[in-house]
């Protein structure tokens, strides 16, 4: 099959991509019938003053956790394996771990970056949450 001057091969795999909405996915993802996009709304807590960040952090984590549980347990079929990108590691690792255990799947982690690095950029490297995750 030809697509924008490139040859593509279909191998019979079904792929569920779970990601935040906000930017337009690549056209090859949008038009491939074997790729199923599940776009989540990003947590609505951006742009708050730093002092409120610690107050809304538990709410943000709860929203992310519940959204991931819904998608991984109820919206997609049980996969052979999950591929996750780190970061984000909180709460992604926990929810994917539960999903792997209950759905008999394996996990592959793309250690793109360390979650504590991003947390340290927000809270400072000496913050107890950052030290706990390093």
62: tokens are: 């709860």
Q: By residue range, what is the domain housing residue 117? A: 48-132
CB 16, CB 84: distance < 8 Å: no
The alpha carbon of 82 is separated from its chain's Cα centroid by a whole number of angstroms, namely 11
Q: Is 97 exposed, middle or buried (0-12, 13-18, 19+ CB in 10 A)?
A: middle
Domain assignment present for residue 76? The answer is yes
Percent of the chain with pLDDT over 70: 86
pTM: 0.69
First CA to last CA distance, the chain: 46
Task: Express each pLDDT in 16-61 by its tens digit.
Answer: 999 888 889 999 989 999 999 999 888 777 777 878 877 888 888 8
Mean pLDDT of 3-23: 75
Structurally, the chain folds into a number of domains equal to 1
Q: Is 115 part of a structural domain of the chain?
A: yes
Does a structural domain hold residue 14? no
């Amino acid at each position: 099959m030809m697509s924008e001057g490139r040859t593509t091969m279909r191998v019979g795999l079904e792929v569920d991509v779970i990601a935040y909405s906000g930017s337009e996915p690549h056209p090859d993802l949008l038009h491939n019938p074997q790729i199923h996009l599940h776009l989540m709304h990003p947590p609505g807590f951006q742009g708050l003053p730093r002092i409120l960040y610690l107050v809304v952090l538990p709410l943000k984590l709860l929203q992310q956790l519940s959204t991931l549980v819904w998608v991984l347990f109820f919206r997609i079929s049980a996969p052979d394996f999950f591929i996750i990108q780190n970061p984000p590691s909180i709460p992604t690792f926990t929810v994917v771990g539960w999903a792997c255990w209950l759905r008999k799947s394996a996990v592959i982690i793309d250690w793109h970056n360390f979650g504590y690095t991003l947390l340290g950029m927000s809270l400072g490297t000496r913050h107890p949450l950052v030290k706990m995750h390093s």
